[in-house]
Chain A
Amino acid sequence: MHEYSIVQALLERVTLEARRRGARSVHRLTVTVGELSGVETALFATAYDTFRQGTLCAEAPLEIRTVSARWECPACARAMPRGAVLCCPRCGQAARLARGDEIVLETVELEVP
């Protein structure tokens, strides 16, 4: 259940941004969560609903955008099929994760008096 500690980190960062800009409250926030980030989005949403009470985010809906994982060959950029050995059959190179491990705060919308 590390989703709770991730949400706490998220709220700290958003609160810092809101204070810095003199915002009265947060209107909305958007995060991207990768398939291989280790975050369960349903738990993340539940944790957010629990911890946002009493914070500047109390009325702010959280939009979670999920990103599917893509392993690809660093040489020829061929995508590895899901569940395949992570080595390019053509180039013999170890695959790299092009996307899918991110937990990123993308945008916040602040209510500024």
Chain B
Amino acid sequence: MCGVCGCGDPEVVPVDIHEKVLSANERKAAHLRDHFREKGVLAINLMGSPGAGKTAVLEATARATGGAYRLGALAGDLATDHDARRLREAGIVSASITTGSACHLDADLVHHALHHFPWTSLDYLFIENVGNLVCPAIYDLGQAANVVALSVTEGEDKPLKYPVMFKAADLVLITKVDLLRHLPGVRLEAIIDALSRVMPRPLFFPVSATTGEGLDGWGQWLEERRRELGGAAAERRAAAIGPVRLAG
């Protein structure tokens, strides 16, 4: 009842919440992160525009590692399972997360997919997000790191146009660098300069899935992240497999 005159109108009660709107997603992502750490699986959230070369980089990674690691991938896709099929053909244990009209993956979608996916025996789990430089950036999936694929054919200024995505990136793979010689208007230095204006710690590898250029640096970075993951499972696996370097 109204506290002023007792008229029977409802009382308006202000309540301070001060809570992130996506906190439910973050709680689910934290749960996934615990699972990944416990099993010694390095989860990478791989994002980028449609056609940036996300799937091609993973195929090349599988070729370069030659079966030394157990690689898995969940491929977010609006309507098809083409990417998951390509990845399976490359030797990566893969499944699709078909999102319908949703433009990004969230922790719930990944959690659900993992129930039907043999992820616990993997060394690396790549979560290939829906091709999109905007929406996926703000959803935590429980990953150990965010990696953004940015192709040279997208032009020099993409980082400046999509700062939210690149702010969230731990690493940028500048892909299709073998095409640079055909692109007189695109300079690698300009892409790197743009990254330094949106990423406080710009870390990038220019790579080519076609020629294999730069894949050794990417492979070493992955190994270091897996070492950092720690946990008994990761150490046991490292000892069992021994140090393996990606051939560039």
A residues whose Cβ falls under 8 Å from a Cβ of B: 1-2, 5-6, 9-10, 12-13, 17, 21, 23-25, 27, 31, 36-39, 71, 83-87, 94-97, 101-113
B197-240 residues at the A interface, CB under 8 angstroms? 197-201
| Extra contacts besides A12-B24, A104-B20 (15): CB < 8 Å | A2-B139, A5-B104, A9-B21, A13-B21, A17-B15, A21-B15, A36-B163, A38-B137, A38-B138, A71-B200, A96-B200, A101-B164, A110-B12, A111-B10, A113-B10
Taking a contact as CB atoms under 8 Å apart, the answer to whether A17 and B17 are in contact is: yes
**Closest Cβ neighbor of B10 among chain A residues:** A111
CB distance from B88 to the nearest CB of A (A): 29
B189 within 8 A of A: no
Question: Given A94-B200, A95-B200, A96-B200, A38–B134 Cβ distance below 8 Å?
Answer: yes
Contact B22 A9 (CB under 8 A): yes
Instruction: Take A87-B196, A94-B200 as given contacts and tell me if A108 and B18 are in contact as well, using a CB distance cutoff of 8 Å.
Output: no
Q: Which residue of B lies closest to A16 (CB)?
A: B24
- In the assembled complex, the Cα of A112 lies from the Cα of B12 at a distance in Å of 6
Contacts of B103 in A (CB 8 A): 1-2
A16 to chain B, nearest CB (A): 10
Q: Total interface residues on B, using CB and 8 Å?
A: 37
Complex Cα–Cα for A62 and B20 (A): 16
Report yes or no: B21 in contact with A103, Cβ–Cβ below 8 A. yes
Which one of A23, A84, A109 lies within 8 Å of B197 (CB-CB)? A84
Q: Is the CB of A110 within 8 A of B20?
A: no
Q: Which residues of B contact A (CB under 8 A)?
A: 1, 10-25, 102-104, 106, 134-135, 137-139, 160, 163-164, 167, 193, 196-201
- Chain A residue numbers with a CB within 8 Å of B199 are 86
How far is it, in angstroms, between the C-alpha of A13 and the C-alpha of B18 when the chains are bound?
12
The reply to whether B16 and A111 contact each other, CB–CB distance below 8 Å, is no
Residue of B nearest to A105 (CB): B17
Indicate if the CB atoms of A110 and B16 lie closer than 8 Å: no
The contact sample of 13 A-B pairs, CB cut-off 8 A, is A2-B103, A9-B22, A9-B25, A13-B21, A13-B24, A86-B197, A86-B198, A97-B167, A103-B20, A103-B21, A106-B17, A110-B12, A112-B12
